Structure 1
Amino acid sequence: MPRDDSHLPHALQGLRLPMIGSPLFIISVPKLVIAQCKAGIVGAFPALNAREAEGEHPLLDTWLTEIREELDRHNQENPDHPAAPYAVNQIVHRSNGRLERDLEICAKHEVPIWITSLGARVEVNEAAHSCGGIVLHDIINNTFARKAIEKGADGLVAVAAGAGGHAGQQSPFALVREIREWFDGPLALSGSIATGEALLAARAAGADLGYTGSPFIATDEANADADYKKMIVEGGAEDIVYSSLFTGVWGNYLKDSVRKAGMDPDNLPTADASSMNFGQDREKPKAWKTIWGSGQGIGAVKSVGPASAIVDRMAEEYLAAGRKLAAEFS
């Protein structure tokens, strides 16, 4: 029986796998986004990844043109297997001085899916809606979820314990359940969604989609250092540390990258939200340049390869797990 996704916005319907490739800071570039979309899942990147030198044409505009043209070409050549839509992540924090400009560029390109982080703002949602886009706002608890919907977001990304990068501390089952008590709109779940079985569990818990990031770091298309990819392949849940030191927001990072920067991952100081800075002028200690984010699900990643292989593996696992459980209820 085909998956019934008729209750979702058009941009989230008809995906090969109900999954969004989460926007990865520095790592997600057009090459990775295009590969994810061609493989049948939503590909995404942070707008702030597109950084041009002073006086140059906005790189975000160039990237969006490249993505749109390549996906259009793919769809014309593969009418029976069209690419999934793409998403752009906007950091809404007050330190992002590029936000207004980036909103205008995304509206011009009619970006179909907007993912917002670190603040829910009405004007951002209005910008997305002005060009026919939908907004998914990422949250770490039920309180923030309510605020996001009240301010006009169309859906939510529940960032639960175990997610890579900035992450919450709540169990995914608890977080999804609380949200579903009052919200029946689009809901994606983030937090170690690295296997098809985990994706099926997310769906069973009440989420519409999985939100997967860390496995895509160890791909050919990812803009990641070879050592970073190697740590992902060789690591597991015990190799992750949860810290607020590096951005002022609590998140998950690879312990070995912290050690290589000369720090003890088991004895890190904390930082508060006042230290957050996503502006062009932000300064970080040089030693932090190679502090690498990762979720707890990386034990499922066994090698570096094409992004499509991640989707293929998870699709096979998802189908097998679904059939196995379905047999219990037949």
Structure 2
Amino acid sequence: MTAPWLRDDNHLPEALRGLRLPLVGSPLFIISGPELVIAQCKAGIVGSFPALNAREAEGEPPLLEAWLTQITEALDRHNQANPDRPAAPFAVNQIVHRSNARLDRDLEICARHKVPIWITSLGARVEVNEAAHSCGGIVLHDIINNTFARKAIDKGADGLIAVAAGAGGHAGQQSPFALIREIRDWFDGPLLLSGAIATGQALLAARALGADFGYMGSPFIACAEANAQPGYKDMIVSSGAEDIVTSSLFTGVSGNYLKPSIAAAGLDADNLPSADASTMNFSSGSSKPKAWKEIWGAGQGIGAVRDLTDVPTLVARIEREYLTAGRGLSGEFAG
């Protein structure tokens, strides 16, 4: 296991220090649940899930409460049994879009459970950041350009997730080389990079660019702990970057999707119409209409995913690649 003290992370908030790898598992719609998050945290990286994934039937108590209790108790048991190898903290993703009718309720639940890391998306709002800070949490806000980055920090976010070209889901369009550099010109706080981070080499490159962490999603879809349909997992394994299509049709915001899943839905992936952001609506938990529930998102890094696996095996692979790549370059800068 990597010795975390060899990596200088003293400038980071306490919740982000001492991780096995500088890596955060991104929140995946439907796919990220307690099993995946617990496995990621036990493996030494930050695990996360969207609050909207925890959906209870009408009249039932909030499932988010049960999930947070399950995750917290499982990680506490792990830490008691492994004091020399504690679990990483977890994060909850809040969709801040005005159509999310659950937001206020979910903020209250997360504050009461003292969630350590809050990931916010689709809108920067002061009151959301204040809710996180009220319980000692930190806020990482995802952005696709420098303008949104400045707005997020001005409204009280503690850190940024730079979503660059090649990321899965609602992806940005800028090169990571440009996006990270522009942000680092004025911001020295926690900075994560999202966009085709699927190998240890890519993680090392993110660090070399100036990011503190990589933000990895798509490779976890093919893990046993992920709540993804078998066909989705198989498609991740069998596809590569050329199988990713960028379209705004499905949610109103530009996103990256698996071309074979679009074809399976009877659509021409090479001639998709566009849609605008006014069509986005999270009132039912997802911005994607049910008719397109099997249009599957993924990032351009999936060519590195060659097998169905589990979280410990995947994280171990990333660690080996990261260390090997770093050692391979170290001699070039010795002396």
The alignment's TM-score, normalised by the length of structure 2, stands at: 0.97
2:324: which partner in 1?
Answer: 320
CA distance in 2 between counterparts of 1:239 and 1:322 reads 30
Amino acid at match of 2:206: A
Deviation at 1:150, TM superposition (A): 0.1
The answer to whether the aligner puts 1:303 opposite 2:284 as a matched pair is no
Deviation at 1:283, TM superposition (A): 8.4
1:27: which partner in 2?
Answer: 31
Give 3-state SS (helix, strand or coil) of 2:257's partner: strand
1:156: which partner in 2?
Answer: 160
CA distance in 2 between counterparts of 1:326 and 1:5 reads 19
Deviation at 1:287, TM superposition (A): 3.7
Tell me which stretches of 4 or more aligned residues in structure 1 moved more than 6 Å. Answer: none
For residues 9-88 of structure 1, what are the structure 2 equivalents within 5 Å? Answer: 9-88=13-92
Deviation at 1:285, TM superposition (A): 5.1
Deviation at 1:274, TM superposition (A): 0.1
Deviation at 1:52, TM superposition (A): 0.2
For residues 1-330 of structure 1, what are the structure 2 equivalents within 5 Å? Answer: 2-280=6-284, 286-330=290-334
CA distance in 2 between counterparts of 1:52 and 1:164 reads 26
Give 3-state SS (helix, strand or coil) of 2:246's partner: strand
Amino acid at match of 1:187: L
CA distance in 2 between counterparts of 1:231 and 1:127 reads 39
CA distance in 2 between counterparts of 1:316 and 1:261 reads 38
CA distance in 2 between counterparts of 1:251 and 1:328 reads 38
Query: Residues 166-216 of structure 1: CA distance to partner in whole angstroms, max 9, x if unpaired?
Result: 000000010000000000000000000000000000000000000000000
Give 3-state SS (helix, strand or coil) of 1:157's partner: strand
Amino acid at match of 1:16: R
Amino acid at match of 1:59: L
CA distance in 1 between counterparts of 2:327 and 2:233 reads 32
Q: Which runs of 5+ in 2 are unaligned?
A: none
CA distance in 1 between counterparts of 2:285 and 2:175 reads 36
Query: Residues 130-177 of structure 1: CA distance to partner in whole angstroms, max 9, x if unpaired?
Result: 000000000000000000000000000000000000000000010000
Query: Residues 65-105 of structure 1: CA distance to partner in whole angstroms, max 9, x if unpaired?
Result: 00000000000000000000000000000000000000000
Amino acid at match of 2:115: V
Deviation at 1:280, TM superposition (A): 2.2
Q: Which runs of 5+ in 1 are unaligned?
A: none
Identity of aligned residues (%): 77
The alignment's TM-score, normalised by the length of structure 1, stands at: 0.99
